Structure 1
């Protein structure tokens, strides 16, 4: 069987170029999670590596299938604008380990909360998982393995996260779009949530 991590890293190199930094975090009882940083102009992209080694399993299922189940990696894009965004490495690794640690299935439309700022001084403590397929294409694996999906993460302020819980992910994304919100701005405030 193919080494999923090596295939994922090769896909990143094709889509994003060479990483200029990487860090690894290991949580008790989990696979090692790496976070790679790719810089493109004034944008830093932080991408997880290792989350897709095992498929995500439904926590209500009786037995986890070692082959079948969705696989994903996480990608966060942030503008380099004087914020300490490199400190997002550990929170990102925590989110990437959540399927192994908590039995969470990470899918588009989900909210993931780290319970603290994503980096020092960040106005965000959570992210919205967006649809894959834009920046990094899905990675097909040999059957019966499901493809690896590269899920973009969109930082949310606490007010946006609360509003999303009531109105849904698509409504929040539509609000961001209609207000021209720069979701890569590490200093941005909440979008206008008044009707």
Structure 2
């Protein structure tokens, strides 16, 4: 059987360079989740490693398929030095463990809510899962396994998360774009939603 996580880590290193830090978190009843930190100039990227070890299963399925099903890892990009964003490691691991713990399938357009700030003092307690493919290409695996997708996470304030629930992900992304919102700014305010 192919070592999916070794391939995923190789893809991350190819796309982002060598990680300058890594942390591991294990939750009761789940596989180990690592979070790798990559620094590129004034941008810090945090990528999970471990979420893709097993395919995500449809929570309504009677049995989870151990081979087929969507696989993903999460990637968060923020500007360095503006906030204590290294404290995001555990919250990211919590989000990456959610398919195993809660039986959810994480896909673009979904909201993931932590119920607490992403890092100390952050205005963001949830994230919007964005479309993959821009920064890190999907990792194709041998059939019948689905490819691993690297899903960007966009931090949302409570107001933005509530607005997204009512209006949808495309509307919120359109609002961010129209207002020129810097989604990598860890100190940014909520986008005006009037």
Q: TM-score, normalised by structure 2?
A: 0.99
The corresponding residue for 2:95 is 95
CA distances 1:104-157 after superposition (whole Å, capped 9, x unpaired):
100000000110000000000000000000010000000010000000000000
The corresponding residue for 1:179 is 179
Shift of 1:161: 0.1
The corresponding residue for 1:159 is 159
The corresponding residue for 1:70 is 70
Instruction: Measure, in 2, the Cα distance between the counterparts of 1:192 and 1:115.
Output: 22
Give the SS at the match of 1:34: strand
The corresponding residue for 2:36 is 36
Which 5+ residue runs of structure 1 have no aligned equivalent?
Answer: none
Instruction: Measure, in 1, the Cα distance between the counterparts of 2:22 and 2:118.
Output: 17
Instruction: Measure, in 1, the Cα distance between the counterparts of 2:82 and 2:178.
Output: 27
Matches within 5 A, 1:72-151: 72-151=72-151
Give the SS at the match of 2:81: coil
Give the SS at the match of 1:125: strand
Instruction: Measure, in 2, the Cα distance between the counterparts of 1:116 and 1:10.
Output: 32
CA distances 1:17-59 after superposition (whole Å, capped 9, x unpaired):
0000000000011110000000000000000000000000001
Asked if the contact 2:79–2:184 (Cα under 8 Å) also holds between the matched residues in 1, the reply is yes
- Would you say how many aligned residue pairs link Structure 1 and Structure 2? 194
Give the SS at the match of 1:6: helix
Asked if the contact 2:9–2:49 (Cα under 8 Å) also holds between the matched residues in 1, the reply is yes
Structure 1's consecutive aligned runs of 4 or more residues displaced over 4 angstroms after TM superposition are none
Asked if the contact 2:82–2:187 (Cα under 8 Å) also holds between the matched residues in 1, the reply is no
Which 5+ residue runs of structure 2 have no aligned equivalent?
Answer: none
Give the SS at the match of 1:77: strand
RMSD across aligned positions (CA): 0.4
Q: TM-score, normalised by structure 1?
A: 0.99
